[in-house]
A and B are shown apart, each in its own frame.
Chain A
């Protein structure tokens, strides 16, 4: 049972704000993903929970107990580092066993626990190798096994997949998802990859510049991004954003005219997702522009056009073919439009 509470947690280095007023309760057994670009404070937040970074303001509670002053070892957390941080002088078995050994856990249980943990990550055949003799993916799994071996209350993962190649990343991601389901331990996972966040999380926290932008389930943040930043960060491809002007319910931008929208007059940022839009027959769509580029993705064809400074795209059928420069018409119905304040990027409407 380990609910984690972050009460107005902040981190400053001099005048530089690393994390600002982070306030969140993470439920027991929840899989929470901290998502954001580099330097957004997500790793700092995790390190404060681990106890590797001092908290400048606010309180962190694990299982109802304030842990601000506790050493990392006394917080009953385990962590997977981005660099794996395996002990190079020990073999795989000793690496996994290390947490049991330093914590003085009954020696007779070590072997069984190490073997169970290594079996969970399919490392049984490598127990006698040194980390230097392992591939990246294997090292990563040793780090996982070392983290799960003593069944901690909280599981922290700092970009555990970022050093793996694309193919391995997908399979290890699946493994982590399965593992977290099996272990049912509160997990905090830091990443800058929105696909990892979408696939793994019960809840996602999107951060930027040390400030939380949105907290919600993957579907929430995908369907209703709280602001233009979240919209531009989530989804693959990210949401198309166009700057234009609103007047009497009509949004206009170069090559764009969308009517019947409900927003106050003035400058506005309008967004839609490429997969929601479709191609329209000549001239009947809301965006009419020459094709800027055309990408064949296999399962679809991505067509991009220029709207002012922005490049917006639409996902067309995989058999669609055209030349760069051909005129294209894109249908953007009202119900797929997301409206954002042009100044602060905040969402307009529900």
Chain B
């Protein structure tokens, strides 16, 4: 009897493991394909003769003498100075995250602790702004930015990204704060804190998972943004995503498509590191409030 149960449970384990493995392969295939292809020449990765050339690197061997080549990376990073775009991205992302988290934490806390009805309506308005397509903000701002001579600069893009991001951070942090019982603030205030001290010493230490989770989402929004950065930044100030789009756009020169592929891989890799690094906080942040503690 028990051996039957064991056998069937083992086959379930094998089946489900195989299924998960298959799913992981399918899900990660586009990235793996791009990663592999980024070390080939365009004639292989975009082969018209035989798609399998991308796997074996037939043309790559003919053109460079090896089946792998770093030509795409060299072209993107050195020739086209992709590192400038990387630095720009870091600046834009850093300030977008810091600013939207600062306002989001303070505002979310205030809204969560406010007993007034307008708190609800402020959040509703925030939701409306969050729901708007990003491009509406950009098109509305383009003319004044040109007239005030603000167009093309990094701070301009940062401000617009913060504006797009803020409703979301406000909402998310607001709901995190709601999960922290009000008794904690009040207890701190009776124990001798001012409202600000209670926020700093008691509430914020409990809030870190929420702040990190929200910060990560803001980071991803700023990091992956195309609509705002492509419209608002001059060529010198481009961030990574519009720079990659730029590589793809200029197909007159052979090899530039491979620059784009190499740049895509370069832009994606840090995200893996980031998520792996913060995964504990993210998980606890996403499930905060699910169980009473």
Known: A73-B194, A99-B192, A132-B293. A79 touches B187 (CB 8 A): yes
Is the CB–CB distance between A52 and B190 below 8 Å?
yes
Interface digits, A70-109 against B, CB 8 Å rule (1 contact, 0 not)? 0111000111011101011100000000110011000000
* Other-chain residue from A50, A83, A89, A132 in contact with B190 (beta carbon distance below 8 A): A50
B192:A103 contact, CB within 8 angstroms: yes
Residue of B nearest to A80 (CB): B187
Q: Among the listed B188, B190, B194, B206, which residue makes an inter-chain contact with A88, where contact means beta carbons less than 8 Å apart?
A: B206
Nearest-CB residue, chain A, relative to B201: A102
- Decide: A85 near B192, CB < 8 A? Known: A102-B197, A102-B201, A132-B293: no
- In the complex, are the beta carbons of A52 and B189 less than 8 A apart? yes
Measured between beta carbons, the chain A residues less than 8 angstroms from B194 are 71, 73
Q: Is B181 an interface position by the 8 A CB rule?
A: yes
What is the minimal beta-carbon distance from A11 to any residue of chain B, in angstroms?
14
Q: Interface size on A (CB < 8 Å)? A: 23
Q: Is the CB of A78 within 8 A of B191?
A: yes
Does B253 interact with chain A (Cβ within 8 Å)? no
Q: Nearest-CB distance from B206 to chain A (Å)? A: 6
Interface residue from B184, B190, B201 paired with A78 (Cβ < 8 Å): B190
Which of A50, A85, A89 is packed against the most chain B CB atoms within 10 Å? A85
The answer to whether A73 and B189 have CB atoms under 8 Å apart is yes
Q: Known: A83-B181, A83-B183, A102-B201. Contact between A88 and B191, CB under 8 A?
A: no
- C-alpha spacing A308/B205, complex, angstroms: 60
Do A146 and B191 have beta carbons less than 8 Å apart? yes
B81 within 8 A of partner (CB) = no
Interface residues on B, range: 10 to 19
Say yes or no for B193: interface residue by CB 8 A criterion: yes
The answer to whether A102 and B184 have CB atoms under 8 Å apart is no
Chain B residues whose CB sits within 8 angstroms of the CB of A146 once the complex forms: 191
Residues in B neighbouring A82, C-beta threshold 8 A: 183
Contact (Cβ within 8 A) A85 B193: no
Contacts of A99 in B (CB 8 A): 191-192
Query: 8 Å CB contacts to A: which residues of B198-212?
Result: 201-202, 205-206
Max count, chain B CB within 10 A of own CB: residue among A50, A79, A102: A102
CA of A288 to CA of B187, assembled, Å: 56
Contact residues in A for B293 (Cβ distance below 8 Å):
88, 132
Q: Is B63 an interface residue (CB 8 A)?
A: no
Interface residues of A, Cβ cutoff 8 Å to B: 50-52, 71-73, 77-79, 81-83, 85, 87-89, 98-99, 102-103, 132, 146, 156
Task: Report B's interface with A, CB cutoff 8 A.
Answer: 181, 183-184, 186-194, 197, 201-202, 205-206, 293
20 more A-B residue pairs beyond the given contacts A50-B190, A52-B189, A98-B191, with a C-beta to C-beta distance below 8 A:
A51-B190, A52-B186, A52-B190, A71-B189, A72-B189, A78-B190, A79-B187, A79-B190, A85-B181, A85-B187, A87-B184, A87-B187, A87-B188, A87-B205, A87-B206, A89-B205, A99-B191, A102-B188, A103-B191, A103-B192
